[in-house]
Chain A
Amino acid sequence: MTASGFYGAGFPYRDFGKLPGKLIVLEGTDGVGRSTQVNMVRHWLEEEGYAVADTGLTRSELTGPGLDAAKSGHTLAPYTMSLFYAADFADRLENKIIPALQAGFIVLSDRYFYSIIARDSIRGIDKNWSRSLYGIALRPHLVLYLKASIPSLVQRLIHGRGLNYWESGMDLHFADNFYDSFVIYQTQVLKELEELAREYNFITIDADRTPSEIFEDLKRPIRLLLHNRLTKSERPF
């Protein structure tokens, strides 16, 4: 993949050369079980003999600590927060994802910029602005969208790590408690992701099922990708 593999200008000051690896994205809202699936996919691929690297939002060493500190204060305004995430994204893309792809790894990305622009749009950020900003992003080979209903998300989160301030969209003041706010906010996130699924050609996977059932559904397109047998409608570009 050459520079034409970016959504926009990419990183014009660098020539990354050939990227023999594959970039696979798992998208989906909070509490949908993405990290469980990333682990299962990773183990499966490694057993099959592939070298796998994984990454996820806010994991950049550059912005991780600063972003955590900023989020704990609740005074992050929309564009500021969006740009903080974009810095994290750019850092991981240039310094982690692309080098791994150059080395022929399969990179599993626990979310990509799609989640970020979905959340940003709800916070009033101009959609064209977001799309232009992520002109630096590499087009993935596959975007697998884990789609779950609100009741199953609530159930998983309450029996898991609990509802939190940002995942409930408390900064938007939709409601006076985490539960009601979560329901309103995540309903809007799902709607945004639905639009993005069409725009960026996600493969939608029903995530209202057991982890092993979801996993079986994920394996099929990944297998096809690795054997170069994905149909045109299954590719993100």
Chain B
Amino acid sequence: MLRPNDTKGKLIVVEGIDGSGKSTQIDLLFKWLLSKGYSVYFSEWNSSALVKSTTKTAKKGKSFTPATFSILHCTDFADRWENSIYPLLKAGVIVLADRYAFTAFARDVARGVDPQWVRDMYSFAIMPDAALYFRVPLDIAVDRITGARAQLKYYEAGMDLNLSESYPESFKLFQGKILNEYDKMVDEFGLTMIDGTLPVKDQQRKVRTLVRKILAGFDGLPNPDKAAISVNNPQARKKSKKGGK
């Protein structure tokens, strides 16, 4: 299970199925915290340069199994955890993560791995100070994604699970399973649920109210220039794109 936060920093993560609007919300939060003068670092799921070539090969060759999919995503997470997230938290930075361990707990379990096994695998990481779960009904999320994106990708649509021959149909069934896992985690981990069907502005107001509470009395690492932090990893020269996939 996730450890308690033993650092000076604050960890805030957003979770939810594809199309829940979480990336929009964390991007707004990031800019707001930066403007307030905090030291903030943003980390995105599946963005480690170290693991990228392997993931790319596997996706192209459709050679992932649920277990290797799960372990490689945790490898990606571990690289970001060990080389940036954890040291920065120790330094007193506010770290924002677009998807966290809960994504693995939802997605990998929907793919059929053992729930306890995947929870144990992420147990080197800490429980966030806030885990915001943007909940939207399945139909709305699916409409948002299929409307905005030209084509669904193989693993994104859960085609490896043989739920349906049709990409949109498989995607919907797969997201439904993930949504179900997320809902179960609300109590298990005390995720804060936010209604993802509300206007963006209203959601952001709720997010900021919550974050203000978490940051009451928090000093953290000063940021006189109000500049964003980027971690200089010699192997991670290619900067990951922020937001979306």
Contact = CB atoms under 8 A, between A and B. Distances in A.
B81 interface: yes
Contacts of A135: 114, 117
Contacts of B234: 73, 75
Contacts of A91: 63, 65, 68
Contacts of A66: 50-51, 53-54, 57
B235 interface: yes
A94 B67 contact: yes
A94 B120 contact: no
Given A78-B82, A83-B78, A94-B68, A12 B54 contact: no
Given A66-B57, A87-B75, A129 B65 contact: no
Interface string B55-77: 00110000111111001101100
Nearest to B54: A66
B111 to A, nearest CB: 7
A83 B74 contact: yes
A8 B114 contact: yes
B65 A90 contact: yes
Dominant secondary structure of chain B at its interface with chain A: helix
Contacts of B124: 79, 126, 129
Interface residues of B, number: 34
B113 A12 contact: yes
Nearest to B123: A129
A126 B3 CA distance: 13
B233 interface: yes
Contact of A95 (B50, B65, B79, B235): B65
B81 A79 contact: yes
Contacts of A211: none
Contacts of B235: 70, 73, 75
